[in-house]
Structure 1
Amino acid sequence: MNRDNQSGEVTFMLLGFSEFPDVQVPLFLVFLTIYMVTVLGNLGMITVIKINPRLHTPMYFFLSHLSFVDFCYSTVVTPKLLENLVVEDRTISFTGCIMQFFFACIFVVTETFLLAVMAYDRFVAVCNPLLYTVVMSRKLSSLLVSASYSWGIACSLTFTYFLLSLSFCGTNFINNFVCEHAAVVAVSCSDPYISQKIILVSATFNEISSLMIILTSYVFIFITVMKMPSIGGRHKAFSTCASHLTAITIFHGTILFLYCVPNSKSSWLMVKVASVFYTVVIPMLNPLIYSLRNKDVKETVRKLINTKLLCDKMSN
C-alpha cells in the first residue's frame, strides 16, 4: 500500500451536484423520499416473504436476498448523498471513501449474479415444472446465493487492493456524489492503468457471463412457452417472468449505459445521473416491480394491514 494512502492528510471532496446550488433542497427531498420508500419497500418485502409460508419457495428466497442487497446498497450510498446536499463541507475521509467503494462494489456485483440466478430459477420453473422442487432444492438455492455473495466480495477485495496501490495527494475533488471507481481514479497522482484494466476486464466478464446466463435461460423459456397449446398457460408463464425481465432490463441497461459514456468533462453529468439511477432509484424500484405484479405478495400485505387496523380498533 502506498504511504500517501496511509497518512491522515489525504481527503476527498465529493462534488456531487454542487454546480446546481438552486436545486440542492429539492434534490434532498426527492432522494430522502426515494430512500424512505427503498427502506420500507425492501425490508417490507423481506418481512412479507418471511411470514407467509406460501412464499417459502426458491423464487422468493432469491427475491428476499435481492431486497437485502438493494437495502444495503442504497444505505451505503444515499445517507452520504443526503448529507452533502444540505452541508457545505462535502469532505469524506480516505478510509470512508474506500469503505464506501468496497461495500458498494460487493452489493452491485452480488446483485448482478443474483439476477442471473433468478433467471435460471425461472428457466427451471417454466421448462421443468414437475422437477422444480427437486432441481431447485434448498441446498442448491443456498449454494447459488452464497456463490453470488462470495464472488461479490472477491471482486471488491481485488478492486479495492488495486485502488489502494494508487497515490493520492492532499485534497482530491471527486466529480461525483459517490466514491465510484472511475471518479476516484481520475484524481490519482499515479498511473491508474493497471487498476483501470483490472476493473474493465472484471466488469466485462461479470456483465457478459451474467447476461449469457440470463439470455440463455430466457431463450429456452421463450421456446417452451411458445410450444404451450393453451393461451392461458402462455400468459401465466410470461407473467411469472415479466417482473424479473423488467428488473433485469433496468439494472443492466443502466450499467451498460454507464460504461458506454466516455469519462470526459462534458459527460460527467450523464455519469452522475446514471449513477443516481442504479445506486438510488433501482433499489427502490425492485420491490415495487415485484410486489405490484404479485398476487401472493399483495394478499399478504393486505392481510397485514387489516390485522394492524383490527388491533388498533381493539386497543381503542
Structure 2
Amino acid sequence: MDQMDMISENDCCGNGCVNCVLNVGFRKTSNDILDGKYNVISDYQKFRLLSKYPHNHMGSDKDNLDCGIGEVLELHFRVSELPINAEDFALLIPPGYHVMMRQQLPTGQVCLRPYSPFWVDSLAMEFKILVNLAPDGPMSRFIKGLQVGDCVEFRGPIGAYEYSSNTKAERNVFVITQGVAIASTIRIVNDILDNEEDFSHVFQVACYKDLDHAFNRNVLRDFNKYWNYTSSIYLAHQRCPDDMCKTAECTGKCTWFLKKLWYKENVHLSRLSESNLSDISKGSIDSSTESVFIIAGSKNFQESVTKLIKKLTLESLKTNIVLL
C-alpha cells in the first residue's frame, strides 16, 4: 500500500510547516527498500532515548557541556522494539527529510511535531535531533521531562526534496539556514562532500543570534577542510561581556570576540543582506551553471531569502529553490 493512502488529517501537527505531511506525504514504500531492507519507521515506532544534553557548538556528545545552550537539546534515539525478522529492517531517513514525533499528553491531547535528524545510523536504527524548547510549548514541556530510557513514538520520513549527486557538470549548492534549522541540512552537505564524484560546490550561509547560539559550528569547521566548500556565519545580535566595545552590540574588534573565533572562520556581525548574498554568489552563477538554493528556517526567513534571490536575479532556468 502507498503510504499516501495511510495519511489522515490527524498526521498533521498543525504548525503550518512548509513541507506539511498532508501535501508531501511520507516517503513512498517503493523507495523504502535499501539493499533488501524495509523501513522500520514507515509506521509509528517506539524509539528509546539513549542520551539527552544541552547542545553545544564546541563539540558533540559529552564534551564541553559547560558550553551547552539550555533551551536547545540534543537527543539520541534508538529503535526500542525490533520487529519480527529484524535483519530485514533498517532506519531509512534521507538527508533533508523529517520524522514526526507523536505523544499523548496527560491532558489527553495528542501532540505531533516534526524534527530533522542531523545524524542517522541506518543499520543500528539510531538517529539524533536538535530540539529548540519553546517556553510554553506542550511538546517542549514533555521533552524537557524526558529521561534516558523513556520511549517516544516516531514515524516518517516526511519530505519533498531528495538531493541527487551531480557527476556530469559543475553545480552550485547554496545552503542558507536560520538558527537550529541548520540541522536539516547537515546530512545533505555531508553527502555532497563525501562523494568524490560529485562536482558540486557548496556555499553554506548560517544565520544565528550570536556565537553562543551558533548550532553545529564545529561541523562547519570540519566541512571547511574540503576544497569545494565555503562557509559564512552571520550573527544578528552579538554582544560582548561588560560592554567591552562600549556599544549596544559587539563591533567584532574587541579582544574577547577575536579570541572566540576559530582559524579562518568567516564571521560577520550583521544580518544576511542583499549585498552579502550578492558577494557570496558573485562569479559563481551564470546561465550555463546549475544552481540549487536550499533554505531552512522560519516561514518569514524563507520568504525573505527567496525574495533576495529573485531581486538579485539569481533565479534562472537552471536554478532550483528548495524550502526545508
TM range (shorter): under 0.3
Query: What is the TM-score when the length of structure 1 is the normalising length?
Result: 0.25
Larger strand fraction of residues: 2
Higher relative contact order at CA 8 Å, sep ≥6: structure 1 or structure 2?
1
* TM-score normalised according to structure 2 size: 0.25
Point out the structure with max Rg over C-alpha.
Answer: 1
